Structure 1
Amino acid sequence: MKIYVQKYGGTSVGTPQRIKNVAERIIKKSGNGVGMVVVVSAMGDTTDKLLELAYEITPNPPDREIDMLLATGEQISISLLAMAIGALGHPVISLTGGQVGIITDDVHKKARILRVNSKRILEELNKGKIVIVAGFQGITENNEITTLGRGGSDTTAVALAAALNADLCEIYTDVDGVYTADPRIVPEAMKLDIISYDEMLEMASLGAKVLHPRSVELAKQYNVNLEVKSSFNENKGTIIKGETGMEGILRVSGITHDKNIAKVAILGVPDKPGIAYKVFSDLADNNINVDMIIQSIRHEKVNDISFTVGKDELDKTVSIMRKTVEEIGAKGIEYDKNVAKVSVVGAGINKSEVAKAMFQALADEEINIQMISTSEIKISCLIDLQMTERAVKAIHNKFILNGIEIRHQDAI
């Protein structure tokens, strides 16, 4: 039996009619030796509404109770979708993350999947049922409900596809696939037919909203056949796979931006061994992810350390760092929420020619660069928040519309 895993986001199941449409799509693909496993997110903005309720009750809701609350959103979706499929005459069952054996660690609000027990799903598939699974959630060894963080349903779908050795994992969203930039900012953005795991991982981690980074990591690790498609039409989507191009050609695949970012600076840091370790271990111990990092020398024996974190973790970060500043004898702390990160992504992107073209595009628009970070396949710049759209358009015009292609000097 072939096994297909599909994932439908909140917009795709945002209304009763859309749920019925999804049910018809699922049934159309099932049968003829195909077992269907469908992962569903909470309807529309249900998760945000549940969070609003929590913060109306208390300004500091416990993480455990947040998970208990948010997990109900996906349970609504799976039960309604199962009803819709059942009403069309097809055997179906809805299951929570815990019921299908998605075992996670005990970090509430952003748990990581430890393993998946596929026994229950395979039993239901062998009975001829379509299996509807709640995304975004799991359960610990101690039977505590956990959630996987924003975009966790993508991770659920890929994890199930890997555990089931599925033939295909389709991620259905409200867009046709992965674009060279956000079409809402750049109307000329083009859909990519194919993109590599590494490029998609960078784009996802740098602000592209189509897929969650952790889902791409899993897909790459287990070589999951992945495709991003629209749930509102039958258009071909974007295939995410291994390496996609010839060696020697440097081509930018996409331009991303991230407004959910903040800059933190620790000022007057003593220049001695162990200080950086202390700063970033305090952050790591509190599960705060750090992105761009710069250490600059103010004068002899004193440095400044700047880094970026998610805007939603800024308050927690500042609180932790104030204590760290006292312990290491630094002068103080500053932070800025009015920043954004723009990035170019593509194979071999850390070449000077690519950096030159990106920096020129920003300079032509008189956009100042505050921080820079690079990897083998991306260059990121921290800029003023108000300049985000202008920067994305300028960089997209430079690389995509003008078709800049840079070759290694020793290209074959």
Structure 2
Amino acid sequence: MRIKILKFGGTSVDTAEHRQAAVKRVVQARAEGYDPVVVVSAIGRAGAPYATDTLLGELRSVDPAAAPEARELDLMMACGEIISTVIMAHTLKALGYRATALTGGQAGIVTDEVFGDARIVSINPHYVISTLAEGSIPVVAGFQGVTDPGTGRHGAITTLGRGGSDTTASALGAALHAEAVEIYTDVPGVMTADPRICPGTLSLPTVSYEEIAEMAHQGARVLHPRAAEIAMEYGIPLWVKGTETAEPGTQIAGSAAELPHRVTAIAHMPRVAYLALRVPYREDRRRLELELFKLMARVRVGFHLLRGSPEVVGFAVAHESLNRVTDLLDGLVLPVTREQGGTRLYLLRVGQGGSRSEVQSALLSASGASAEVVMADAETVETCAMVSVIATRVWETPGMGVGVLARLRDVGVRVLQVADSPLSLSCLVHENDTQRAVHALHAQFIAGAS
């Protein structure tokens, strides 16, 4: 079999007209001698009747004060993709093609038990292969899998996190030894910036696996980073194409290490909160920082823009994670063993502090503990965004950081924090400066360089 995976995003299957365009892509793959396997996302975006956010809103409206359990949230979130899968399969059938709708579990996708952000641990695609052998087109629900029935949870439905349908497509491509994975969306390929906020963006003909993964990690909503990582690991050619355009799209292949310096794109991540924890004793900062990030890793909270000045531990988190991080850190007591002996107990207080930090402080005072108790206050800036220049060989390009900061200063954008990596230079800005920052950097480093 010559298998090709075709993944269609929510805006590619949200109307009959869009589904007809998607079907044309599937039929074209068959005409080219491939056995197509279709993966679909939930229909539409927030506000659409069967979009994931709409379904979650319906669940939470039952009692806004009572948070649903993660297991039930995954059951609800999986519904959007299942509905989309059945409708897409029926569309193919109505046009005279045999098709079979499959949930992620029916497609053999087994995950760990981290509801809401599960990782695929294995795939047994025998049902997909047998469906293809029968001459039927498998249409698989993206974004979901099931836990191993042997764990005692009896195959509980899990979801793979935002953008997880891309991961489904890449993982199935690896399991089925596909010749290519094609991601279809409402833009003609991987763009040099978000065209919704930046005019004059370009579609890139090729990008490396590392570049696309970096773009995704820095907020570009073109592809889930795990999808790029899986494709890179198994050497699967990956394409991003527009469902309704004749443009060739963007091929994702090769290694960034083989490329000269170039600025690839400007990515942005809206709705970011920044926390700065002040550490009174400089000698304790590294140990406190280590314990803090070990804790956040255990609860799987991602962070960006790590700042390690002598007296501050700073980092950014997605705004949707802020309440969780605040609940986790406010009132937390972290013991730090000093090099010269003894222990300091750091009591964390986030913002103005809540009842938890006050109670902890009172308990520590009443306990008569011999260890020194130190209050560490964390300031929070909630309305931020992260704007990143994605480029190869960042660390080998003198003056790049100065150029970025100078350009933002020239257009009146205040930079709150900066961080870099081999493939990006990221700036934390106030959220209302996002569009101005993206436009200025795109004009300077991409439009101005072409």
1:47 to 31, 45, 52: 52
Q: Deviations over 1:275-313 (max 9, x none)?
A: 11221122111111111111223xxxxx22110111111
1:325 shift after superposition: 5.4
How far has the Cα of 1:106 moved from its partner? 0.3
2:393 aligned partner: 348
- How far is 1:17 from its partner? 3.2
Q: 1:18: Cα distance to partner?
A: 2.2
SS across alignment from 1:331: strand
Please tell me whether the aligned partners of residues 29 and 35 of structure 2 are also in contact (alpha carbons under 8 angstroms): no
Residue 421 of structure 2 is aligned with which of 375, 393, 397? 375
Where do residues 111-122 of structure 1 align in structure 2 (5 Å cutoff)?
111-122=118-129
* Cα distance, 1:377–1:32 mapped onto 2, change above 3 Å: closer
Equivalent residues in 2 for 1:152-171, closer than 5 Å = 152-171=164-183
Q: Secondary structure at the match of 1:198?
A: helix
How far apart are the structure 1 equivalents of 2:200 and 2:32?
Answer: 40
**1:231 paired residue number:** 243
Deviation at 1:92, TM superposition (A): 1.1
Tell me the residue number matched to 1:80. Answer: 87
| Pair 1:257-2:303 in alignment | no
Question: 1:45-194 alignment to 2 at 5 Å?
Answer: 45=45, 46-59=51-64, 60-142=67-149, 143-194=155-206
- In the alignment, is residue 314 of structure 1 matched against residue 327 of structure 2? no
- After TM superposition, give the deviation of residue 376 of structure 1 in Å: 1.0
Mapped partners of 1:269, 1:144: distance in 2: 47
Q: Which residue does the alignment assign to 1:11?
A: 11
CA displacement at 1:139 relative to structure 2? 0.4
Which stretches in structure 1 are left out of the alignment for 5+ residues? 298-302, 405-412
Question: Which segments of structure 1 move beyond 6 Å, counting only runs of 4 or more?
Answer: none
Partner of 1:240: 252
Q: Aligned residue for 1:26?
A: 26
Alpha-carbon separation, structure 1, partners of 2:325 and 2:333: 12
Tell me by how many angstroms 1:54 deviates: 1.4
Matching residue of 1:335: 380
Superposed CA offset, 1:334-379 (max 9, x none): 2122111111111102323211211111121132221111111111
Encode CA deviations 1:143-187: one digit per residue, 9 max, x unaligned. 010001110000000110111110111000000001111122221
Change beyond 3 A, Cα 1:396–1:21: closer
Residues 74-114 of structure 1, C-alpha deviation per residue, up to 9 Å, x if partnerless? 11111111111111221110100000110111000110111
**Counterparts of residues 197-216 of structure 1 (less than 5 Å):** 197-216=209-228
Q: Name the counterpart of 2:359.
A: none
Q: Distance in 2 between matches of 1:360 and 1:50?
A: 44
Q: Deviations over 1:106-129 (max 9, x none)?
A: 000110111111211111111111
- Cα distance in structure 2, aligned partners of 1:265 and 1:321: 12
In structure 2, stretches of 5+ residues that fail to align are 46-50, 150-154, 335-344, 348-374
- Residue 407 (structure 1) aligns with: none
How far apart are residue 135 of structure 1 and its match?
0.1
Q: Give the number of the structure whose alpha-carbon radius of gyration is greater.
A: 2
User: Secondary structure, in 3 states, of the residue corresponding to 1:175?
Assistant: coil
Contact 2:383/2:431 (<8 A) preserved = yes
- Give CA-to-partner distance per residue, 1:27-49, whole Å, 9 cap, x none: 23225642110000010031011
Cα contact 1:20–1:81 (8 A) shared by 2: no
Identity over the aligned pairs, expressed in percent? 38
For the 8 Å contact 1:325–1:332, the answer to whether it is kept is: no
Relative distance call for 1:396 and 1:325 in structure 2 (3 A) is farther
Is the Cα–Cα contact under 8 Å of residues 357 and 398 in structure 1 kept in the other structure?
Answer: no
In the alignment, does 2:379 pair up with 1:361? no
Q: Distance between the aligned counterparts of 1:253 and 1:75, measured in 2?
A: 36
Instruction: State the match for 1:294 in structure 2.
Output: 307
**Cα distance in structure 2, aligned partners of 1:320 and 1:238:** 41
Distance change in 2, residues 1:129/1:31 (3 Å): farther
Cα offset for 1:14? Answer: 0.7
Contact conserved, 2:209 with 2:256, CA < 8 A, in 1? no
The Cα shift of 1:323 comes to 2.9
Q: Deviations over 1:242-268 (max 9, x none)?
A: 137965x32101111111321112223
Report if the CA contact (8 A) 1:41-1:134 is conserved.
yes
Cα distance in 2, alignment partners of residues 403 and 253 from structure 1: 11
Residue identity matched to 1:339:
C
Moved more, 128-137 or 24-33: 24-33
Give the aligned residue type for 1:4. Answer: K
Q: Quick one: distance in 2 between partners of 1:403 and 1:33?
A: 41
**Map of 2:290 onto structure 1:** 277
Supply the RMSD in Å over aligned alpha carbons. Answer: 1.7
Determine the structure 2 residue equivalent to 1:268: 279
Q: 1 CA distance for matches of 2:25 and 2:265? A: 30
For normalisation by structure 1, the TM-score amounts to 0.93
For the residue of structure 1 that corresponds to 2:104, the secondary structure is: coil
Structure 2: distance between partners of 1:21 and 1:344? 34
